[in-house]
Chain A
Amino acid sequence: MAQGATIAPGLTSFLKSLKTTPVDPSVEHFTSLLKRRQIRSSRPCAIATVALLLRVVIEFKGKDAAKLMERIRQVGRRMISAQPRELVVGNMVRRVLGLVREVVDENADVETNAASDNAHSHHDSLTRPNLNSSISNFSPLKHVATEPTDSNLSQSEHMSDSGELYRRPSLLTSHTSYAPTSNALMVHSLFGLFSQPETPSTSSTPTGHQSPDRKGMLTSLNLERLANLSMSNTTIDLRAEVMDGIKELQDELEQSDELIAANALDHIHSNEIILTHTASTTVQKFLLAAARKRKFTVVHAETYPHDHTATHGILLTGKKRESHQDDEDDVWKPLTAAGIQVVVIPDSHVFAIMSRVSKVILATHTVLANGGLVAAAGARMIAKAAKDHQTPVVVVSGVYKLSPVYPFDIEELIEYGDAGKTVPYEDGDFVEKVDVENPLYDYVPADLVDLYITNLGGHAPSYLYRIVADHYRTEDITL
């Protein structure tokens, strides 16, 4: 990049400065970039967040997992409050927290295994497989709907809420922290009612041959799992393992477009007319993957006024015009160069042309836990029109955009942009007399979407709760 000094602050400059700056100034830098909207939209936010969290882990001294998590959470909170509508930031923080927990759990399992083997060698053949299967104790019942982080509740109310929300998972998981019941297959959420009490009362401990000291040992092992980790003799390198996990996460971010595009040939057939909108690299790569084998027509709604320059850019050169920051990204040819006929239409023509469209492919900003999505303004109109014409709506999205947040209030998720883009401010007469608004996003309810294609494959909207449960730990949903 020759521009060097003239480069506008953005993802590239941030990632560069991250290599040399310590964490705290970097967090400051990142939050200001977020606030100034110099890093925006899901992918750059995700990349920057993960890179920053990697720095946090690298700089973290000590071996205490609980402290590391607290540190990540604290950094995460600052980033989220800087721009609550970029839900991917929160997603990435939760994913990294989940990584730490995974490392801790794996280690603790090994420990408990060893302990129970020592103390109880006579039926360890029974114990062992059960213990190992405890990784699958994830249940969607535990997947929690949180209030949107940018809720306009008063502070005190907010505090008490988060208190309640915080207590709830701990109540639910109380039995998972109790070794005797949890390690085996008893972690069924519907059985929560019957689970052992948190503090085993003397009456509930059997009077039989069970040796109390062993039980005590096991319990304390699990209760103080996090704290014990630093002192445990099975020295795992917490930092290294978490860093490996974060690197995998970075790979996932990098590869998600390719993985999504791999599905393209299953969904796009010859001579189809595909309708899409906004400048989305995910959608473009998806279409390009299909274009290598098949001929079809793309109808592109230009998404005026907030995204049309980028849309025009991506159609002309295969690159968003404004996105000088991801220059190193692999350059791809525009669809037209691949021999695909592209028709650009204004958004108002969507309904008129929908009767000829055979499939709608939408990009998204965030996917929410209930299967709904937040996408560039215009998406809902397109989805509605498609519904009216019984045209299938396919949403392509990386799993990293999938958020465990439940949309209690849709209004809060919609961001409003520069009204001057709709009507220029110079048009004083006009601006004086009418209110001009420029919403950037739309909420599309789940029932308008027929299929989600993520880097894991295709899913029905009703199945998304399961993917949420697989990717986020309940404990982390409220940050």
Chain B
Amino acid sequence: MDVETPTAENPQFSSPPTFDIVSTYRTILASDPDLTMPVAAIEALVEVIAHSTVSTVAETLDLLERHTAILKSSIPNPISLSAGTDLFQRYLVTTLNRPASLNLGPDDDFRAIRNHLLSNGRLFVERAKASRDKIASFGKHFIRDGATVLTNGGSRVVGALLRRAAESTHMRFKVIYVLPSSTSVDSSEGHQIVADLRSHNVPVATIPDSAVAYSLGKVDMVIVGAEGVVENGGIISRMGTYQMGLLAKSKGKPFYVVAESHKFVRLYPLSQFDLPIEQTVIDFKVSTTDKSVSAEPNDEGIADMNAEEVRKFSGNSAQDAVDFTPPGLISGIITEAGVLTPSAVSEELIKIWF
């Protein structure tokens, strides 16, 4: 416990950057395949606090802000991650600004919270994992006997839900799994889930993206995972989810999103191109004068390097790209705390931010 560190050490408070948050984050993420990005980010931030000598609220928040910025700039798509860091930051702000909330003496708050965070880091991870189980345990009620479920991508929550449904003895349901043909990380995760489901005696059919509309006639419901749930109740998820939503809507099939509530992120995109990341999905080219055209976006990318929010997405194709599914297409968001209508998301976010 270095909590006794006097404030006199403040001047040398610039030392923390020696702590490499990015590698910590990556280690945490790699150490546990079940971990989601937001939770890994929270873990990394807890580590930051543990390695620092800060002793005041302002210092802590400043420290976290800097590290969050470093972390966000280090990965191509920080949307999911920012859900975790924002949640953590808001938690600290709310707790620290309301001394009475811990019923301690005013001088104790900071220490108490710090200790709470440091000693319970593991617990947060456990909780986050438990929430996936919780989602699975009652989300499986959505799958009725004889149903055919359409899903996509390598979402672990969806995988857990389907597995749980398969384990309950009397359910007979079929799964149509949309798998990208490429060999991205996503599709390997998808293959894993497909193999897992098949070993549980669930008939699984895999189809390419292009066959979604074709297959929809045989489908009773669509269940997808999400990288982030945004403020208006829409979701940010892997490329292809939006079109599945549109198609499901047009066919009148229920479209459910499965996501833990720590994936709620404070963004309000109005269209596909409002996301705070830059994706080169649409890349106009002509065959001969290749350089002149493709140079343009590159220039912009360099110009935006300094801009805090927009980051050049290095992932080249649609494989790892994401799209935004507007709330109107979503029938319900299954979280560990119940089924929310899309409009309930903003209320939850407003509660922690204001």
Q: Which residues of A contact B42 (CB under 8 A)?
A: 193
Question: Quick check: A206 and B337 within 8 Å, CB to CB?
Answer: no
**Nearest-Cβ distance from residue A465 to partner chain B, whole angstroms:** 5
A138-169 interface mask toward B, CB cutoff 8 Å, 1 = contact, 0 = none?
01111111010000011001000100110010
Contact partner, A465, options B100, B169, B341, B349, Cβ 8 Å? B341
**A127: Cβ under 8 A from any B Cβ:** yes
Contacts of B115 in A (CB 8 A): 203-204, 206-207
> Looking at A145, A153, A161, which has the most chain B CB atoms within 10 Å of its CB?
A145
A142, B119: Cβ atoms closer than 8 Å: no
A144 to B335, CA, bound (A): 10
Chain B residues, CB < 8 A from A280: none
**Cα of A141 to Cα of B343 in the assembled complex, Å:** 11
Contact check: which of A140, A181, A194, A208 meets B347 at CB < 8 Å? A140
Give every chain A residue within 8 A of B90 (Cβ-Cβ): 191
Interface residue? B104 (CB, 8 A): yes
Q: Are the C-beta atoms of A141 and B338 separated by less than 8 Å?
A: yes
Q: With A141-B335, A157-B169, A208-B112 known to touch, is A123 a contact of B106 (CB < 8 Å)? A: yes
B108 near A208 with CB under 8 A, answer: yes
B104–A126 touching, CB < 8 Å: no
Q: In whole Å, how far is A412's beta carbon from the nearest beta carbon of chain B?
A: 9
CB of B134 within 8 A of CB of A180, answer: no
Q: How far is the CA of A130 from the CA of B349 in the complex (A)?
A: 20
Within 8 A of B (CB), among A114-128: 116, 120, 122-123, 126-127
CA of A464 to CA of B91 in the docked complex: distance in angstroms? Answer: 28
Quote the shortest CB–CB distance from B133 to chain A (angstroms): 9
**A9 within 8 A of partner (CB):** no
A53 to chain B, nearest CB (A): 25
B124 contacts which chain A residues (CB < 8 A)? 193-194
B interface residues, how many (CB within 8 angstroms): 61
Nearest opposing residue in chain B for A215, CB measure? B103
A184 to B98, CA, bound (A): 8
Q: Convert A294-314 into 0s and 1s, putting 1 for each residue whose CB lies closer than 8 angstroms to a CB of B.
A: 000000000000000000000
Tell me, in angstroms, the Cα distance from A143 to B342 when the chains sit together: 14
Beta-carbon contact of A193 and B262 below 8 Å: yes
Partner of A154 from the list B94, B111, B170, B341 (CB cut-off 8 Å) is: B170
B134's partner among A130, A171, A186, A465 (CB-CB below 8 A) is A171
From the candidates A127, A139, A462, name the one contacting B103 in the complex (CB within 8 A).
Answer: A127
B105 and A208 contacting across the interface, CB-CB below 8 Å: yes
Kindly state whether residue B14 has any CB partner on chain A within 8 Å: no
Quick one: CB contact mask for B283-296 with A, threshold 8 Å, 1 for yes? 00000000000000
Measured CA separation A201–B119 after assembly (Å): 9
Q: Which residues of A contact B169 (CB under 8 A)?
A: 157
Residues of chain A within 8 A (CB-CB) of B331 are: 370
CB distance from B261 to the nearest CB of A (A): 6
* Set of chain A residues within 8 Å of B88, measured between Cβ atoms: 194
Q: A145-B339, A208-B105 are in contact. Are A190 and B347 (CB under 8 A)?
A: no
| Chain B hits for A165, CB < 8 A | 137-138
Number of interface residues of A (CB under 8 A): 60
A-B contact count (CB 8 A): 175
Task: Enumerate chain B residues within 8 angstroms of A157, measured Cβ to Cβ.
Answer: 168-170
A204-B138 in contact (CB<8A): no
Q: Mark A368-382, 1 if CB is under 8 A from B, else 0.
A: 011100000000000
User: Which partner residue on chain A sits nearest B140 by CB separation?
Assistant: A161
Q: Does chain B have a CB within 8 A of A209? A: yes
> At the interface, yes or no: B352 with Cβ under 8 Å from chain A?
yes
Q: Is the pair A141, B261 in contact by a Cβ cutoff of 8 Å?
A: yes
Which residues on B sit within 8 Å (CB–CB) of A120?
A: 103
In the complex, what's the smallest C-beta–C-beta distance from B170 to chain A, in angstroms? Answer: 6
Say yes or no: B339 contacts A180, CB within 8 Å.
Answer: no
Contact between B337 and A142, CB atoms less than 8 A apart: yes
- Residues of A with C-beta under 8 A to B112: 206, 208, 210
- Chain A nearest CB: distance from B231 CB in Å? 12
Chain B positions 187 through 220: 1 when the CB is less than 8 Å from some CB of chain A, otherwise 0? 0000000000000000000000000000000000
B residues less than 8 Å from A262 (CB atoms): none
Residues of A within 8 A of B341 (CB): 370-371, 462, 464-465
Q: Which residue of B lies closest to A462 (CB)?
A: B343
**B-side contacts of A145, CB under 8 Å:** 138, 141, 338-339
Bound CA–CA A186/B101 (angstroms):
7
Does A230 sit at the interface, judged by CB under 8 A?
no
Least Cβ–Cβ distance between A186 and chain B, in angstroms: 5
Residues of A with C-beta under 8 A to B107 = 208-209
Complex contacts, A183 vs chain B, CB 8 Å: 103
Between A and B, 12 residue pairs with Cβ closer than 8 Å are A140-B348, A141-B344, A144-B337, A172-B336, A185-B101, A189-B261, A190-B352, A191-B90, A203-B119, A208-B112, A408-B144, A465-B344
A-B CB proximity, top 9 nearest: A184-B101, A206-B112, A145-B339, A126-B100, A203-B119, A141-B337, A462-B343, A180-B103, A144-B338
- Measured CB to CB, the residues of A under 8 A from B are 116, 120, 122-123, 126-127, 130, 139-145, 147, 153-154, 157, 161, 164-165, 168, 171-172, 179-181, 183-186, 188-194, 196-197, 201, 203-204, 206-210, 218, 369-371, 406, 408-409, 462-466
Additional A-B contacts beyond A126-B99, A127-B103, A144-B138 (19; CB < 8 A): A116-B103, A123-B99, A123-B100, A127-B100, A140-B347, A141-B261, A161-B141, A189-B337, A192-B337, A194-B88, A197-B120, A204-B116, A206-B115, A208-B104, A208-B105, A208-B112, A371-B341, A409-B144, A462-B343
